[in-house]
């Protein structure tokens, strides 16, 4: 008795009720036709085993189960003298997947998308998966506005029951937006609303911005921008009624129509609060809120108010506080009353602080920056400050914090900190190019996270003809558990100014010092140190008279003990991609009266301020001032003068070229310096998510003032220009092009300048 091709007979058997076989006892089971599938896999899907009775019900179940695995394209059962024979034909496996003709996307991204629909090397080939893959490829292109794309697939048989799959893509041209219509607007002109949108009709910048290429995601973002614009302007009942997107038969032109209803403009008539006052008094909520009666409704300000109240509750441990502003509308008067419904929920504490992603950096280096402790009440401000401090270490390209609740509890959560390490070793090089001086280079090597301990070791070796520098610096930022730092410096600096823009002299300085940093709070630190130093001077025939007079007074060799005292403050939101905050620093360098060689002081102050203008654009203002002089009847050493010009001060001018000059038209430096910079920082177009690359437009101003007997050098120097900053694997690369304003014949211009790394 045999049962052949039972899979084909099953529907007929159920339709007629006829019996296909007579039941029999299975003496043995044999599987035939398998190549890759294990026989045990087939046995596991069979509803009968050796010694059990086989009938048509079990046979139907067996065939259905084997087909459901997706491994086989044909299954049949036979029986010979009590032996059940399972005959199968396996589906082919995918041996290779090729995508040809793709330029718009990285192939690895498309490969991942195909894998998500079941098409990848090593998987069982399924024709339905191939159809899904073709649709997935088309969908990716349509999302980029390329509606004319064609995708053809082919399947090639390979040895060992495998197939090769090939996709041939003809991308075609992207469909362009021919027209955008906005219907229903009365308060604002269509041109004003169109200016809010990134999508646009073709213009002279379309080749660069590609904003004339339709994208569903871009349109959704533009619609939300319009919605936010109206809601922030008081139109509480604003609605987007419909959006139509149509394309011409040749798939070249797209027409977009947006239908909206503005509604009436609402003002806030009253603000009420509801919530437990023993946790957060209503009066304090009122102070935290940025909306008040009489204001025009603004969703932005309303959201800011709820966020501030929620953050305040978060500082008290109520991590899951729920704050909602419930409106009561008076449609006749166009007024609204908001009631802030505050539900603090349960007070929670932190169970664990988990750190992930740090391969090189030790846990201790990260954890010592945390202000939120395990076992303590959750505090939103401490979590924010902890992330900020870890960010400022500048060891990581990404720092992310999550606070998931602990499963099975309502009063615990974990703090998960995930970091992505970056190179902390800098090979630093500074360079400038000018027709008179050629290429000037300085180099240094720094490791800011020595062996993952957070310690800093820097070595500078510069053997240029202008500056010969040998220095080693070591800093332990946590010399004590309280965060006191200690550092050591050993250096020798030889200067030959005859090849620079400054007055001619030579000097050789040796020194070794120790310095400490004492934190006042999380943002401020006091610095102090001592450095014994010896300087040997040399003059040339072109040295100015005041240098000669100084050497005649003090001598060619001087010994002194330098004392330093300073203060710094850093409130930046991020050291990776700064958008807000302040960096300040004040320092004093003084030659202590322990020897008769030098008596001078130098006072400097720096202030850097960041403010976000939009989500992507940041304004940076920087001021730098300094004053120096001698005391006890001795002059200021000329080799301690202030200079300006070049990267870090006034770009577009040769380094150290601004200020008083000698009779040979070389810069003397001065006793006072003032520099100001204004800069607009924004991401590279098309790379808004890439934090390591930034463009900027800048305006610089600066001047160096000499002693009272020196003539002024025609006042401040100004420049404007553009710059690019890239946080490269070997350190920050900064390229600038500065155009000096009101250039005088005596000015030394250097329009193109760059630095690579952190210059010492």
pLDDT at 5: 43
Residue 369's nearest CA partner among 485, 475, 483, 526 is 483
DSSP string covering 550-561: HHHHH-SEEEEE
Cα–Cα distance for residue pair 424/399, rounded to 1 Å: 15
Q: Number of structural domains, the chain?
A: 6
Cα–Cα distance for residue pair 228/217, rounded to 1 Å: 17
DSSP string covering 6-48: HHHHHHHHHHH----S--EE--EEEEES-SSS-HHHHHHH-S-
Examine residue 311 and state whether it is found in any structural domain, yes or no.
yes
Cα–Cα distance for residue pair 30/79, rounded to 1 Å: 10
pLDDT at 7: 40
CATH number reported for the structural domain that contains residue 207 in this entry: 3.10.20.310
Which pair of tokens denotes residue 1? 């008795």
Helix ranges (DSSP H) in 121-215: 127-143, 190-196, 206-209
Which pair of tokens denotes residue 616? 């992507």
pLDDT at 425: 75
DSSP string covering 190-216: HHHHHHH-S-----TTHHHH-TTB--H
CB atoms within 10 A of CB 274: 13
3-state secondary structure of 389: helix
Examine residue 1 and state whether it is found in any structural domain, yes or no.
no
Contact by Cβ (8 Å): 63, 39? no
689 and 743 share one domain? yes
604 and 496 share one domain? yes
Q: What is the pTM of this model?
A: 0.59
Examine residue 649 and state whether it is found in any structural domain, yes or no.
yes
Q: How far is CA 170 from CA 100, 102, 109, 153, 332, in A?
A: 9, 8, 18, 12, 58
H/E run at residue 64: helix 56-68
pLDDT at 12: 34
pLDDT digits (tens, 9 = 90+) for 239-251: 999 999 888 888 8
Backbone angles phi, psi at 11, to 5 degrees: -60, -40
pLDDT at 6: 45
600 and 634 share one domain? yes
Give the gyration radius of the chain's Cα atoms.
37
Which pair of tokens denotes residue 450? 């020595």
Cα–Cα distance for residue pair 623/606, rounded to 1 Å: 6
Q: Which of 90, 112, 141 is the last residue of a domain?
A: 90
The distance of Cα 746 from the centroid of its chain, to the nearest Å, equals 43
Q: How far is CA 437 from CA 192, 504, 582, 666, 746, in A?
A: 52, 15, 37, 13, 16
509: left (phi over 0), alpha (psi -120 to 50) or beta: beta
Examine residue 302 and state whether it is found in any structural domain, yes or no.
yes
pLDDT digits (tens, 9 = 90+) for 698-717: 999 999 988 654 555 567 89
Contact by Cβ (8 Å): 725, 639? no
CB atoms within 10 A of CB 708: 6
Using 70 as the pLDDT threshold, list the residues of the chain that sit under it. Answer: 1-21, 426-443, 462-466, 501, 576, 686-691, 707-714, 728-731, 756-760
pLDDT at 713: 57
369 and 483 share one domain? no
Residues 69-107 as b/e (b if ≥16 CB within 10 A, e otherwise) read: bebbeebbbbbeeeebbbbbebbbbbbebebeebeebee
Contact by Cβ (8 Å): 740, 701? no
Structural domain span for residue 115: 93-170
Sorted by sequence, the CB contacts under 8 Å of residue 6 that are 6+ apart come out as: 20, 56, 59, 60, 63, 76, 77
Backbone angles phi, psi at 334, to 5 degrees: 55, 50
517 and 650 share one domain? yes
354 and 339 share one domain? no
Examine residue 629 and state whether it is found in any structural domain, yes or no.
yes
- Label each residue of 363-376 as H, E or C: HHHHHCCCCCCCCC
Contact by Cβ (8 Å): 652, 642? no
Sorted by sequence, the CB contacts under 8 Å of residue 98 that are 6+ apart come out as: 164, 165, 166, 167
640 and 744 share one domain? yes
Residue 426's nearest CA partner among 731, 213, 155 is 731
188 and 84 share one domain? no
Contact by Cβ (8 Å): 356, 418? yes
pLDDT at 721: 94
Examine residue 246 and state whether it is found in any structural domain, yes or no.
yes
Provide the 8-state DSSP code for 123.
Answer: S
pLDDT at 615: 78
Q: Which of 261, 289, 313 is the last residue of a domain?
A: 261
Q: Which of 90, 109, 135 is the last residue of a domain?
A: 90
376 and 325 share one domain? no
364 and 297 share one domain? no
Q: How far is CA 731 from CA 292, 429, 449, 682, 727, in A?
A: 48, 9, 14, 20, 6
Provide the pairing of β-strand 731-741 with 752-756.
Answer: antiparallel
287 and 365 share one domain? no
CATH number reported for the structural domain that contains residue 445 in this entry: 2.40.160.50
Examine residue 598 and state whether it is found in any structural domain, yes or no.
yes
Examine residue 328 and state whether it is found in any structural domain, yes or no.
yes
Angle of helix 6-16 versus helix 56-68 axis, rounded to 10: 130
Cα–Cα distance for residue pair 34/346, rounded to 1 Å: 60
For 250, counting Cβ atoms within 10 Å of its Cβ (0-12 exposed, 13-18 middle, 19+ buried), the class is exposed
pLDDT at 416: 94
74 and 110 share one domain? no
């Amino acid at each position: 008795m045999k049962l052949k091709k039972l899979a084909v007979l099953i529907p007929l058997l159920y339709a007629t009720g006829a019996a296909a076989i007579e039941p029999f006892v299975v003496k043995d089971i044999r599987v035939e036709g398998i190549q890759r599938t294990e026989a045990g896999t087939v046995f596991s899907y069979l509803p009968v085993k050796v010694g059990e009775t086989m009938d048509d019900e079990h046979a139907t179940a067996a065939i259905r189960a084997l087909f459901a695995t997706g491994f086989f394209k044909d299954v049949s059962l036979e029986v010979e003298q009590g032996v059940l024979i399972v005959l199968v034909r396996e589906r082919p496996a995918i041996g290779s997947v090729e995508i040809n003709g793709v330029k718009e996307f990285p192939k690895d991204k498309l490969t991942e998308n195909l894998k998500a629909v079941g098409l990848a090397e090593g998987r069982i080939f399924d024709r339905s998966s191939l159809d899904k893959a073709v649709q997935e490829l088309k969908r990716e292109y349509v999302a980029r506005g390329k509606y004319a794309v064609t995708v053809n697939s082919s399947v090639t048989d390979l040895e060992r029951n495998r197939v090769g799959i090939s996709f041939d893509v003809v991308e075609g041209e992207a469909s362009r937006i021919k027209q955008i219509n906005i219907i229903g607007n009365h308060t604002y002109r269509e041109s004003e609303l169109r200016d809010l949108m990134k999508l646009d009709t073709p213009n002279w910048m379309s080749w660069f911005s590609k904003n004339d290429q339709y994208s569903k995601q871009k349109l959704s973002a533009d619609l939300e921008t319009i919605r936010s614009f109206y809601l922030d302007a008081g139109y509480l009942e604003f609605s987007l009624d419909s959006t139509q997107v149509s394309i011409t038969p040749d798939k070249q032109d797209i027409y977009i129509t947006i239908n909206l209803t503005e509604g009436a403009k609402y003002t806030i008539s009253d603000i009420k609060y509801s919530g437990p006052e023993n946790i957060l008094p209503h009066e304090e909520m009122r102070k935290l809120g940025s909306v008040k009666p009489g204001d025009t409704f603004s969703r932005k300000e309303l959201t800011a108010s709820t966020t501030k109240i929620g953050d305040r509750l978060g500082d008290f441990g109520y991590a899951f506080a729920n704050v909602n502003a419930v409106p009561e509308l008076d449609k006749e008067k166009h007024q609204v009353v908001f009631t802030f419904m505050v539900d603090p929920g349960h007070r929670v504490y932190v169970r664990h602080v988990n750190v992930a992603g740090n391969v090189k950096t030790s846990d201790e280096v990260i954890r010592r920056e945390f202000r939120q402790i395990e076992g303590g009440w959750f505090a939103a401000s401490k979590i924010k400050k902890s992330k900020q401090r870890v960010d400022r270490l500048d060891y990581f390209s990404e720092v992310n914090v999550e606070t998931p609740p602990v499963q099975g509890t309502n009063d615990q959560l974990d703090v998960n900190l995930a970091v992505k390490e970056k190179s902390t070793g800098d090979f630093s090089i500074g360079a400038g190019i000018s027709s008179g001086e050629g290429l000037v280079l300085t180099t240094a090597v720094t490791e800011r996270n020595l062996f993952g301990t957070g310690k800093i070791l820097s070595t500078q070796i510069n053997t240029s003809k202008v500056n010969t520098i040998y220095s080693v610096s070591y800093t332990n930022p946590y010399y004590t558990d309280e965060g006191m730092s200690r550092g050591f410096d050993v250096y020798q600096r030889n200067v030959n100014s005859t090849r620079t823009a400054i007055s001619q002299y030579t000097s050789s300085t040796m020194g070794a010092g120790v310095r400490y940093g004492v934190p006042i709070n999380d943002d401020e630190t006091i610095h102090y140190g001592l450095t014994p130093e010896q300087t040997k001077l040399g003059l040339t025939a072109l040295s100015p008279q005041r240098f000669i007079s100084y050497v005649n007074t003090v001598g060619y060799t001087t010994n002194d003990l330098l004392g330093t005292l300073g203060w710094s403050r850093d409130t930046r939101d991020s050291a990776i991609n700064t958008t807000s905050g302040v960096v300040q620093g004040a320092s004093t360098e003084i030659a202590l009266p322990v020897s008769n060689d030098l008596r001078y002081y130098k006072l400097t102050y720096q202030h850097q301020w960041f403010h976000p203008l939009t989500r992507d654009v940041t304004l940076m203002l920087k001021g730098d001032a300094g004053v120096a002089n001698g005391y006890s009847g001795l002059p200021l050493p000329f080799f301690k003068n202030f200079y300006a010009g070049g990267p870090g001060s006034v770009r577009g001018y040769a380094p150290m070229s601004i200020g008083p000059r000698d009779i040979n038209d070389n810069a003397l430096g001065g006793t006072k310096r003032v520099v100001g910079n204004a800069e607009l920082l924004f991401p590279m177009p098309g790379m808004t998510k890439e934090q390591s690359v930034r463009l900027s437009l800048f305006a610089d101003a600066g001047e160096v003032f000499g002693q009272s007997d020196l003539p002024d050098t025609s006042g401040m120097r100004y420049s404007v220009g553009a710059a690019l900053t890239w946080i490269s694997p070997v350190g920050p690369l900064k390229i600038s092009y500065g155009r000096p304003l009101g250039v005088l014949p005596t000015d030394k211009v250097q329009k193109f300048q760059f630095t690579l790394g952190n210059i010492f």
